[in-house]
Amino acid sequence: MRVLVAEDEHRIADALAKGLRADGFAVDVVADGAEGLWRATEYAYDAVVLDIMLPSLSGYEVVRRLRAAEVWTPVLMLTAKDGEYDEADALDLGADDYLSKPFSYVVVLAHIRALIRRGGPTRPVVLVAGDLTFDPATRRCRLAGTSISLTARECGLLEYLMRHPDEVLSKSEILAHVWDQNYPGDPNIVEVYIGYLRKKLDAPFSSNRIETIRGAGYRLHGSGRR
């Protein structure tokens, strides 16, 4: 899942980005409203965390313009309690949720997860594909009742695949949602991590739940083992 953080207080932005990355999210950070608007319009994010007081364009203006452009990415607005705006304004203008500063990382994470869950058509809290389950909140993965240990990045990749079962996902699509915008390395990293997941989820069971579609990408079978 890919999150855009628009926050000009570096201390807060850094803490958020660090925490979210450790939890397997891909995170892009901007410190300017206009840049935030541009990114949120140009790229597909799963959620946007938006501070109100930003240089060049306020968070209010960003969310208003996003909705006017029919971009419906869930937005979590960060408000200051003593600010000149209040939470009602944030929701009026099209934010989906708000948090007052100061907040703890755990609370932000819970709000972001809830937003992503609500983001589309009703999605189950625990993702299921046949005998494979993944709980995004606890990062717990189980296969045929057995607990499978995954790294943060493997969790991020598996969550993205499981939220798009039976869809062919291109390498660049996966890269964009699971790795950062600024990821400087080889896009073949996707292949490498698909390989890691297969080693844990397919190889021991001689199954083919993560399929390679030659020249197109990868597909996770929603019914599980094949």
* CA-angle at 193, arms to 202 and 156, nearest 5°: 95
For residue 31, give the nearest of 62, 70, 2, 1 by alpha carbon.
62
- Note the residues at the interface with Ca ion (CB under 5 A): 8, 51, 53
In the complex, what is the shortest distance from the CB of residue 4 to Ca ion, in angstroms, rounded to a whole number? 15
What CA–CA distance (Å, rounded) separates 22 from 163? Answer: 20
Which residue is closest to Ca ion by CB?
Answer: 53
Q: How far is the CB of 109 from Ca ion (least distance, A)?
A: 20
Least distance from Ca ion to the Cβ atom of residue 7, Å: 6
Sign of the dihedral defined by the CA atoms of residues 79, 15, 112, 64, in that order: positive
- Whichever of 8 and 202 has its CB closer to Ca ion, that residue is 8
Q: Report CA dihedral (62, 63, 69, 72) to the nearest 10 degrees.
A: 140
CB atoms near residue 173 (< 10 Å): 17
C-alpha to C-alpha distances, 197 to 158, 203, 222, nearest whole angstrom: 8, 9, 16
Work out how close the CB of 34 gets to Ca ion at its nearest, in angstroms, rounded to a whole number.
14
